[in-house]
Amino acid sequence: MPLKITPLAVVALAAALSGGGAHAAGFTAEQATAGETAYNANCAQCHGKQLEGPDAPGLAGSDVMQNWATAGGLYDFIHVAMPPSAPGQLGDETYLNIIAYIMKFNGAQPGDEPLTSDAAKLAAISLPAETQAGAAAAAPAATATPDATTAAAATAVPQAFTWGKQLPGGPAPTDAAAPAAATTPAVPQAFTWGKTLPTVAAPAAN
């Protein structure tokens, strides 16, 4: 069996998910702003100002979004267990605001509808879909090339044996090829970003 390396069609996919337009992820800009303050006061000491860790697991990146799966997954965990010095004691509003900030940091776009503790609504908000779609909508320039160097470097790793297959309860294979590129908030790119540029002969692979 060959090594399963998935070339990334990320951004195109994300754009498809977002319908190409602005995408509202089920939280408001005010919630995200309040969440940033609350996050920095209660979480950043261990999880990092840039959500990078390292004294506790990082909270940024497509893996993180895919593992928590939905806003409900994140809420179920943090409103019981976090922060360790005052577990479950920050109050619902604060936990929801922190989730809004984590989503925004990962690329999701705020909208008009606030995040609430309604379990069904929280479970319906897909973290990978919202963060990818939001990031793609915010950075149309990045949609040009799936195999842009940094994206490829960040994701050229083996995948699960079942990756890309239809699993019970899982998304259809095309959707399952869910994106990994926009792991950092979109930033402006060079004018030549996404274009094929001349390159020196690549050394033999080792």
For other proteins, the binding residues (CB under 8 A) are 1-4, 6, 45, 50-64, 66-69, 73, 76-77, 80-81, 83-89, 147, 149, 152-163, 167-171, 176-180, 183-184, 199, 202-206
What is d(CA 62, CA 66) in angstroms, rounded to the nearest whole number? 6
5, 6, 159, 160, 161 from 2: Cα distances, Å: 9, 11, 11, 12, 10
* Distance of closest approach, residue 30 Cβ to other proteins, in angstroms: 27
Judged by beta carbon, residue 192 or residue 199, the one nearer other proteins is 199
Q: At what angle do helices 127-138 and 10-18 cross, to 10 degrees?
A: 100
Neighbours of 109 (CB within 10 A): 22
Judged by beta carbon, residue 110 or residue 139, the one nearer other proteins is 139
Structure-derived torsion over alpha carbons of residues 154, 176, 20, 59, reported in degrees to the nearest 10: -50
Judged by beta carbon, residue 2 or residue 21, the one nearer other proteins is 2
In this structure, are residues 78 and 98 in contact, taking their beta carbons and an 8 Å threshold? yes
How far is residue 98 CA from its own chain's centroid? 15
* Distance of closest approach, residue 45 Cβ to other proteins, in angstroms: 6
Judged by beta carbon, residue 128 or residue 134, the one nearer other proteins is 128
What is d(CA 188, CA 141) in angstroms, rounded to the nearest whole number? 8
* Distance of closest approach, residue 166 Cβ to other proteins, in angstroms: 10
* Distance of closest approach, residue 136 Cβ to other proteins, in angstroms: 15
Judged by beta carbon, residue 168 or residue 188, the one nearer other proteins is 168
In this structure, are residues 154 and 180 in contact, taking their beta carbons and an 8 Å threshold? yes
Judged by beta carbon, residue 37 or residue 50, the one nearer other proteins is 50
* Distance of closest approach, residue 198 Cβ to other proteins, in angstroms: 12
* Distance of closest approach, residue 141 Cβ to other proteins, in angstroms: 19
